[in-house]
């Protein structure tokens, strides 16, 4: 927990948010500025600043995050149409919230 971290506040329900999924280790909620019809943020409850700060002890958090992504894509009905999974890493990589999170983006109309 980092006291000045927005996502820690969301995880701890200090800022009300609708969770599409929650378990002991993760929460999932909609991005406030969606870049696509489906744009979810998959957030480990543990405060880790970015991919750069992962340690070997965090490897299960990361692998579990991809399982959450797989399940949420199916739940959102975009598993077969396809989707993107994205980590922005540090400022130059577009990261704005320094609490690790995976973007799940998809749901574009078929052409």
Farthest-apart Cα atoms in the chain, separation: 45
Structure letter (DSSP) for residue 32: S
Decide if residue 88 touches ligand 5GP (CB under 6 A). yes
Question: How many residues bind to ligand 5GP according to rule CB under 6 A?
Answer: 13
Decide if residue 94 touches ligand 5GP (CB under 6 A). yes
Shortest distance (Å) from residue 89 CB to ligand 5GP: 9
Of the candidates 29, 43, 72, 83, which one interacts with ligand 5GP according to CB under 6 A?
Answer: 29
Three-state secondary-structure class, residue 65: helix
Q: Token digits for 21? A: 């999924």
Residues numbered 86 to 105 that lie near Zn ion (CB under 5 A) are 99
Of 36, 44, 20, the closest CA to residue 78 belongs to 36
Token pair 């973007």 in the structure block, residue: 103
Of 39, 35, 43, 51, the closest CA to residue 88 belongs to 51
29 binds, among ligand 5GP, Zn ion, none (CB under 5 to 8 A by kind): ligand 5GP
Would you tell me which residues interact with ligand 5GP (CB under 6 A)? 6, 17, 29-33, 41, 88, 94-97
């Amino acid at each position: 927990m980092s006291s000045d971290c927005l996502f820690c506040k969301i995880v701890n329900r200090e800022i009300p948010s609708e969770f599409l999924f929650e378990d002991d280790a993760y929460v999932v909620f909609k991005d406030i500025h969606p870049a696509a019809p489906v744009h979810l943020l998959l957030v480990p409850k543990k405060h880790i600043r970015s991919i750069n700060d992962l340690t070997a002890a965090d490897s299960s958090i990361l692998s579990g995050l991809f399982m959450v992504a797989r399940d949420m894509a199916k739940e959102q009905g975009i598993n077969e149409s396809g989707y993107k999974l994205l980590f922005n890493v540090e400022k130059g990589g577009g990261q704005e919230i320094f609490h690790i999170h995976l973007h799940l983006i998809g749901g574009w109309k078929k052409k």
